[in-house]
Amino acid sequence: MKKKIALIMAVILLVTSMFALAGCGKKDENSNNTNSAEASDLSYIKEKGTLVVGVTDFEPMDYKDKDGKWIGFDADMATQFAESLGVKVEIKEINWDNKVSELNSKTIDCVWNGMTLNDEVLAAMECSNAYCNNAQVTVLKKADLEKYKTAADCKELSFAVESGSAGEKQAQEAGFKTVPVGKQSDTLMEVKAGTSDAAIIDKLMALTMTGEGTNYADLSYGFDLNSEEYGVGFRKGSDLAGELNKFFDACRADGTMKQVAEQYKIADAIIL
């Protein structure tokens, strides 16, 4: 009898232990779900109440008005996106070379600055769908346009390029001599001053910042070096990219995106 009682007690103890372990497993699963929620970029942004947007001075996408306020197609859309999330926007000027490290260290929450969706960007960031067409173009003094119509014509020229930009990459692939500078707008200063023969910048910038009625009336853009698309970059794995895609879809549907694009004279480039 004692042996039977001992055997029954052992079975009861074994079953109790199994239920206890199952309970622990369930608790761990819930804990993991909590950690996943805490890891959500959307939750992180809403909790702190601010979306920090990394930009450079890049008209017509992100630039300052006479009062020092950031405006432009990207700046305006970023502000509206932040409002849709119920948070404030903070626009922060960054060194373009450091955009990925700024993002990963959480000093910014996204890179929203006419950013080309190339292989390097797609590998390092969680990117939105493309929202704008663009190209890298040569910018020269108007008097030189007829002389330099192809890449082969430009082999002896020195090109000012923004360090770490798509323009710099195109210049390197073409075998051009480059003069790296801090931001795209600085490339135009280089050409105007004669310290560089030409520049390579985004076509949208060239359209709005060169020619009659601008500070660079003697400059104009020449030929396209490529064809590309803009997107917005978030931390790898971020759920904010999906939220932005939904926002873009809504803004296309209600006409907001087209209206903002028309304000900054880039309606023909927007992907609708």
Say if residue 102 is in the same domain as residue 213. no
Say if residue 46 is in the same domain as residue 129. yes
Say if residue 233 is in the same domain as residue 222. no
DSSP 8-state class, residue 129: P
Domain assignment present for residue 16? The answer is no
Burial class (CB in 10 A: 0-12, 13-18, 19+), 119: exposed
Return left, alpha or beta for 56; rule: phi > 0 is left, psi -120 to 50 is alpha, else beta. Answer: beta
Say if residue 128 is in the same domain as residue 155. no
**CATH number of the structural domain spanning residue 185:** 3.40.190.10
* CB of 54 closer than 8 Å to CB of 99: yes
Domain limits for position 157: 136-226
* CB of 200 closer than 8 Å to CB of 137: yes
Q: In whole angstroms, what separates CA 176 from the centre of its chain? A: 26
Give the model's pLDDT for residue 39.
73
Give the model's pLDDT for residue 9.
53
Say if residue 222 is in the same domain as residue 252. no
Say if residue 83 is in the same domain as residue 211. no
Give the model's pLDDT for residue 267.
93
Give the model's pLDDT for residue 33.
38
Instruction: Provide the Cα torsion 188, 164, 182, 130; round to 10°.
Output: 70
Say if residue 206 is in the same domain as residue 236. no
Say if residue 127 is in the same domain as residue 48. yes
Domain assignment present for residue 25? The answer is no
Closest-CA residue to 205 (of 150, 106, 132, 142): 132
pTM above 0.75, yes or no: yes
Return left, alpha or beta for 192; rule: phi > 0 is left, psi -120 to 50 is alpha, else beta. Answer: alpha
Count of the separate structural domains present in the chain: 2
Say if residue 69 is in the same domain as residue 115. yes
Say if residue 103 is in the same domain as residue 178. no
Say if residue 153 is in the same domain as residue 121. no
Profile the chain (272 residues) by mean pLDDT over runs of 10 residues: 48 48 42 48 97 96 96 98 98 96 97 95 98 97 96 96 95 96 95 97 94 95 96 97 98 97 94 92
Say if residue 114 is in the same domain as residue 235. yes
Closest-CA residue to 96 (of 117, 77, 72, 113): 113
Residue reference for tokens 């030929």: 223
Give the model's pLDDT for residue 28.
42
